A and B are shown apart, each in its own frame.
Chain A
């Protein structure tokens, strides 16, 4: 406790530290860059040590904003409370979508159901295409997926593997890489390859790949795109991205409050045209108006507090 207090004092109060998910990093980087252009005296430093590591640092009081590609876990809330941090505030900043990809040389896969994805990627799941769907060829499938440390893997595991069968594991016999380029290249060059990665990367590097439409069980195949992620029809592979901070920071540190506000404005199509917004620029989906307004509402009381001062 004393150590945390000392740390808080020894740090310059005009510095805002952001760390956490590498998925959210491009957003935070863009926000920090533009925010510092506006207010030179505030330093905004951004790291990307991962969602879990970000929460660990946040709960130790090392950073002011923790970026996450999933909601905070109960165990992490408890750890934070043990460290005296019990006023955590969750703000959604964007929507991310996962995309399942095959090679353009693959001519038979257009759409898969969530159950088919599950049977493909679970441990001891399908090994040939006709294991997934009988009319597909009997050739061996080559699997590609992000490394286990990435938020993308966590997200896929929770929705597609664990979400369908709580006892199931993700398969481990494919190519796992933290580097999306490795996955993209592998999938592109092999007609029997299938894999998944983040939507931002799909937008940036999709030429050589073919996205697979997803049927979440209602018989309707939905292609991944900005529109389908935004209107919520691309389920279950679109997800919210969050930042976490403390109510005390929002109350006592105006620069943290305005920075969080800046995150939201970077996603607000009512303020700026889509092509000028930072969130779509770095490859994510902006939030629909109602979700955005919920986030603004969380900040509202703190703006009022600062006006009273």
Chain B
């Protein structure tokens, strides 16, 4: 067989390696499409079912036994209270821990154990935090199934991942910046306060917002705590009973489908998705804004 000049064709092991390379590209593409495909399908199905249930009334009505009258009012207010309290509780502890570990902690076995544990804690299933919250906050501290008990539980849940994200952000601040500050006679704290933290802020904010997104969708832990499903009034303090949007979604999903609650469930999922996507978008915007400065 004559080889046509200009059209060189690899033979033998080279051809084989090139074939594997081509095939692997397609396999990898297929792998990523599976995830995207499932996501697109789920989003399409949810929007398809739930869009008709979205209305101003849906956002401002209390739960009801009638699917077409039921709404998210008490659960949105409950979610806002819980998340607000969670961020206030988690933020200082998480950022403080991250600063200490990265900037001040001595190198000894205890610190190593703490660091290792943080990574492990970030992977603990949420229901475990629910049990912890029930035992410690609801019963031992006697806070009842209140907003503050829920917020403390969610704060404990998101602190590990927020610490890890903040550590990452602090670690990316160039060492030369610290050296420069220290060389000019600034104390260790002044260096952290005026140079490291401002540089690390976008990364820390991103971590906090992403962790809050996880807390926003949390259901199992809060049900474990004894959060209610039917609340028909507005929360005004941290010590009241509450319900949240994901609990309401769960409540509606388990109803018989013919009663129309599936539409409500899908509509509520859309509300929750929009809220979480907005938070993630906010995280991205903050990161970009700070980077430009």
Complex contact A47–B65 (CB within 8 A):
no
Chain A 163-196 residues near chain B, CB threshold 8 A: 178-181, 184
The answer to whether A28 and B254 touch across the interface, beta carbons within 8 angstroms, is no
Give chain A nearest CB distance to B172 CB in angstroms: 45
B230 touching A49, Cβ below 8 Å:
no
List, in ascending order, chain A residues with CB within 8 A of B64's CB: 33
Contacts of B145 in A (CB 8 A): 62
B65 engages A6 (CB within 8 Å): no
Q: Which A residues touch B142, using CB under 8 A?
A: 3, 6-7, 10
When the two chains form the complex, which single residue of A57, A178, A207 contacts B226, counting CB atoms closer than 8 Å?
Answer: A57
Contacts of A48 in B (CB 8 A): 229, 251
Mark interface residues in A219-249 (1 if CB within 8 Å of B CB, else 0).
0000000000000000000000000000000
Distance in Å: Cβ of B148 to nearest Cβ of chain A: 11
In contact, A205 and B256 (Cβ under 8 angstroms): yes
B223 within 8 A of A: yes
Interface contact A7-B144, CB-CB below 8 Å: yes
Contact A10–B65 (Cβ < 8 Å): no
Question: How far is it, in angstroms, between the C-alpha of A44 and the C-alpha of B63 when the chains are bound?
Answer: 12
B contact face: mostly helix, strand, loop, or mixed: loop
* Interface residue stretch chosen among A11-19, A79-87, A94-102, A132-140: A11-19
Q: How far is the CA of A49 from the CA of B229 in the complex (A)?
A: 10
Which of B82-90, B157-165, B231-239, B280-288 has 4 or more CB atoms under 8 Å from chain A? B231-239
Does A282 interact with chain B (Cβ within 8 Å)? yes
Contact B229 A47 (CB under 8 A): yes
Q: Does B257 contact A (CB under 8 A)?
A: yes
Task: Give residues of chain A (8-49) contacting chain B, Cβ–Cβ below 8 Å.
Answer: 10-12, 15, 17, 19, 22, 25-26, 28-30, 32-33, 36, 43-49
Cβ contacts B238-265/A at 8 Å (1 or 0 each) = 0111000000000101101111000000
Give the contacting residue for B232; candidates A3, A26, A32, A180; CB below 8 A: A32
Residue of B228, B229, B240, B259 near A204 (CB, 8 A) is B259
CB-based nearest A residue for B232 = A36
What's the nearest-Cβ distance from chain B to residue A265, in Å?
A: 16
Q: B248 → chain A, closest Cβ, in Å?
A: 12
Of the four ranges (under 10, 10 to 19, 20 to 34, 35 or more), the interface on chain B belongs to 20 to 34
Chain B residues with CB under 8 Å of A15's CB are 241
* In the assembled complex, B210 has its CB within 8 A of some CB on chain A: no
Bound-complex Cα distance A10 to B223 (A): 21
Q: Please, what's the 1-or-0 string for A30-74, where 1 marks a CB less than 8 Å from any CB in chain B?
A: 101100100000011111110000000100101000000000000
A26 to B231, CA, bound (A): 14
Task: Give every chain A residue within 8 A of B241 (Cβ-Cβ).
Answer: 15, 17, 43, 45
The complex places the Cα of A79 from the Cα of B227 at a distance, in Å, of: 23
A296 at the interface (CB under 8 A from B): no
B258 touches A205 (CB 8 A): yes
Q: Which of A11, A32, A47, A180 contacts B256 (CB 8 A)?
A: A180
Asked if A46 meets B230 with Cβ closer than 8 Å, knowing A6-B142, A62-B145, the reply is yes
- A155 contacts B by Cβ under 8 Å: no
| A25 near B258: Cβ-Cβ < 8 Å | no
7 additional contacts (CB under 8 A) given A22-B254, A179-B254: A10-B144, A19-B226, A33-B230, A33-B232, A43-B231, A45-B231, A278-B65
A/B interface sample: 14 pairs, CB < 8 A: A3-B142, A11-B144, A25-B229, A26-B65, A29-B229, A32-B230, A46-B228, A47-B230, A49-B223, A49-B226, A180-B256, A201-B256, A204-B256, A278-B65
Residues of B bordering A, CB below 8 Å = 63-65, 139, 142, 144-145, 223, 226-233, 239-241, 251, 253-254, 256-259
Q: Which residues of chain A have a CB within 8 Å of any CB of chain B?
A: 3, 6-7, 10-12, 15, 17, 19, 22, 25-26, 28-30, 32-33, 36, 43-49, 57, 60, 62, 178-181, 184, 200-201, 204-205, 207, 278, 281-282
